[in-house]
């Protein structure tokens, strides 16, 4: 059973599905996004790395642990959102995503930076650091 969009929204803003408040340190580091949850998740989070990916994409798979490490190392400052483009084709199409992995760096819904392709962690940090 898929979680209701409200459940995904609640996780992104620090409320667990049971209704309790989640401390920032306990908020999920990685949000699984969908076409239904994308707008609310991106609008209601501070700094967010949004990874448009697919399970068959080798560069996407290679980039995932680096993105997760950045989210873990900067917990409370940045959240990683992952959107599988095969299961959720509407959002990438609407945003003009043409290649994967595509990473959007957003804050409260505003796209601050965007890049395509797997890059080394040092280059990722150079892209993210100015916004932390």
Question: SS3 of 115, please?
Answer: strand
**How many helices and strands (H and E) does the chain possess?**
5, 5
In angstroms, the CA 36 to CA 131 distance is 26
Q: Is 60 a catalytic residue?
A: yes
- Out of 60, 67, 71, 83, the active site residue is 60
Q: Is 57 a catalytic residue?
A: yes
Q: Which of 99, 25, 101, 28 is nearest to 58 (CA)?
A: 101
CB atoms within 10 A of CB 114: 16
Question: SS3 of 16, please?
Answer: coil
- Out of 57, 61, 114, 125, the active site residue is 57
Q: Which residues are catalytic?
A: 57, 60
């Amino acid at each position: 059973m898929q979680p209701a969009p409200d459940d995904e929204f609640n996780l992104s803003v620090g409320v667990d599905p049971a209704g309790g408040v989640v401390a920032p340190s306990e908020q999920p580091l990685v949000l699984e996004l969908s076409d239904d949850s994308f707008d609310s998740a991106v609008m209601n989070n501070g700094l967010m790395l949004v990874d448009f990916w697919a399970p068959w994409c080798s560069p996407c798979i290679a980039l995932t642990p680096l993105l997760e490490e950045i989210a873990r190392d900067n917990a409370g400052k940045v959240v990683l959102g992952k959107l599988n483009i095969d299961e959720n084709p509407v959002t990438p199409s609407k945003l003009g995503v043409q290649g994967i992995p595509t990473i959007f760096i957003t804050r409260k819904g505003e796209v601050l930076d965007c890049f395509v392709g797997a890059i080394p962690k040092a280059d990722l940090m150079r892209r993210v650091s100015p916004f932390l």
